[in-house]
Structure 1
Amino acid sequence: MTEHPTPTILVLAGKRDGKLDPLAEKAGVSHKAVVPIMGKPLIGHVLATLEKSWDDAKILVSIHDPSVLDGVEEVQRLKASGRLETIPAEAGIVESVEAGAARGGFPLLITTGDNVLTTVEALRAVNDAGWDREADAVLGLARREDIIAAHPEGQKKFYEFKDIAIANCNIYWLRDQKSLQAAEAFRGGGQFIKTPGAIRKAFGLRNLIRFRFRMDSLAGAMRRMSKRFGVRVIAHVLPDGRLAIDVDNQRTYDVTEELLKRDAAASA
Structure 2
Amino acid sequence: MTDQPTVLILAGKRDGTLDPLAERAGVSHKCRVPINGKPLLEWVVEAVGPAFPDAKVLISIHDPEVIADLPSVVALQAAGRLTLCAAQAGIVESVEHAIEQAGGKSAFPLLITTADNVLAESDYLRDVHQAALAGDGDAVVVLSTREAIRAAHPDGQRRFYEFSDAAISNCNVFWLRSPKALRATEAFREGGQFAKNRARIAKAFGIINLLRFRLGWWTLESAFKAISRRFGVRVIPHITTNGAFAIDVDNERTYGVAELLLKARKG
Tell me if structure 2 keeps the 8 A contact 1:4–1:131: no
The alignment's TM-score, normalised by the length of structure 2, stands at 0.96
1:165 maps to amino acid:
A
1:43 aligns with 2:36: no
Query: 2:31 and 2:247 mapped to 1: Cα distance?
Result: 15
Provide the rounded CA distance (Å) in 2 between the counterparts of 1:130 and 1:103: 24
| Corresponding residue number in structure 1 for 2:154 | 152
Total equivalences in the alignment = 263
Spell out, residue by residue over 1:148-186, the C-alpha distance to the aligned partner (whole angstroms, 9 max, x if none).
Answer: 000011000101111111100000000111110000000
**2:15 & 2:95 partners in 1: Cα distance?**
15
Distance 1:131 1:257 in 2: 32
Letter in 1 for 2:35: I
Deviations 1:166-219 (A, max 9, x none): 100000000111110000000010010011100000000000001111211111
Query: Deviation at 1:125?
Result: 2.2
| SS of equivalent to 2:58 | strand
Which of 177, 184, 188 aligns to 2:190? It is 188
Contact 1:33 1:41 (8 Å CA) reproduced: yes
Match of 1:77 in 2: 75
TM-score by length of 1: 0.96
Give the match for residue 28 of structure 2: 30
2:226 alignment partner AA? R
Match of 1:130 in 2: 132
Q: Equivalents in 1 of 2:68, 2:252: separation in Å?
A: 25
- From 184, 202, 206, the counterpart of 1:200: 202
Root-mean-square deviation (Å): 1.1
Gaps of 5+ in 1: none
Amino acid at match of 1:178: K
* Counterpart amino acid of residue 77 in structure 2: K
Match of 1:62 in 2: 60
Structure 2 unmatched runs, 5+: none
Q: State the alpha-carbon separation in 2 of the partners of residues 162 and 258 from structure 1.
A: 32
Structure 1 residues 224-256: Cα deviation after superposition (integer angstroms, max 9, x where no partner): 000000000000001110000000000000001
The residue identity in structure 2 corresponding to 1:198 is R
- Aligned residue number for residue 94 of structure 1: 92
Q: How far apart in 1 are the matches of 2:205 and 2:255?
A: 31
Question: For residue 262 of structure 1, what is the aligned residue in structure 2?
Answer: 264
Identity in percent: 55
Provide the secondary structure at the position in 2 that maps to 1:86.
strand
Q: Secondary structure at the match of 2:237?
A: strand
Deviations 1:90-149 (A, max 9, x none): 110001111122223111000000000011222122212322221100000001100000
Deviation at 1:4, TM superposition (A): 5.9
1:5 Cα deviation (Å)? 2.1
